[in-house]
């Protein structure tokens, strides 16, 4: 059993993910091929209550990504609990549609569509098609894991757009 890092004090809780034996090796089962799971789905994987995980994310003691009013937990953040990380991508393309992106990060299509139309999520437009670059999606989730903080997708997207403009001016 491992405990959640950086909680400390009375909030420290033991976490035992659901495990299944595969040819003598221990592997944790995750739902589908996703990059992130909603906070209510991550709590049982960590064997802690929803409220404990929500407080940890809200107090920047556990990584998460806020997209409008939804919170998702990157699966890479769960690697601290000796859960094997899937390295293959669910899709080999450089960009995915909004529906696929919504499924990958476990938010509804409507939430992601509203966030993208308001400039709060990294998207690019090709004619009438709105796509999410995989590099931006991976970088957003990686930022949450690296910083171990709750990342606001709207603020992160603004910085992402500025860095793209700076790179295009430098080239």
Report pLDDT for 42.
Answer: 86
Report pLDDT for 83.
Answer: 44
Report pLDDT for 121.
Answer: 93
Considering its fold, how many domains does the chain have in total?
Answer: 1
* pTM for this entry: 0.55
Report pLDDT for 14.
Answer: 39
Q: Are 64 and 98 in contact (CB under 8 A)?
A: no
Report pLDDT for 90.
Answer: 52
Report pLDDT for 153.
Answer: 92
Domain that holds residue 11: 2-170
Q: Which parts of the chain register pLDDT below 70?
A: 1-32, 80-92, 171
Residues 123-153 pLDDT 10s: 988 777 888 988 899 999 999 888 888 989 9
Residues 155-165 pLDDT 10s: 999 998 898 88
Report pLDDT for 77.
Answer: 83
Report pLDDT for 16.
Answer: 40
Report pLDDT for 81.
Answer: 64
Report pLDDT for 122.
Answer: 92
């Amino acid at each position: 059993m491992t405990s959640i890092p950086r909680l400390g004090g009375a909030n420290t809780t033991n976490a035992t993910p659901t495990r299944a034996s595969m040819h003598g090796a221990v592997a944790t089962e995750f739902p589908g091929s996703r990059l992130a799971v909603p906070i209510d789905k991550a709590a049982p994987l960590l064997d802690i209550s929803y409220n404990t995980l929500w407080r940890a994310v809200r107090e920047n003691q556990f990584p998460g990504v806020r997209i409008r009013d939804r919170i998702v937990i990157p699966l890479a953040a769960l690697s601290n609990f000796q859960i094997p990380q899937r390295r293959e991508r669910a899709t080999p393309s450089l960009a995915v549609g909004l529906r696929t992106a919504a499924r990958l990060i476990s938010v509804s299509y409507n939430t992601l569509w509203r966030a993208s139309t308001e400039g709060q999520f990294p998207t690019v437009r090709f004619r009438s098609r709105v796509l999410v670059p995989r590099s931006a999606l991976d970088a957003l989730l990686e930022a949450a894991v690296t910083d171990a903080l709750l990342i606001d997708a709207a603020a992160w997207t603004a910085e992402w757009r500025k860095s793209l403009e700076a790179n295009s001016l430098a080239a």
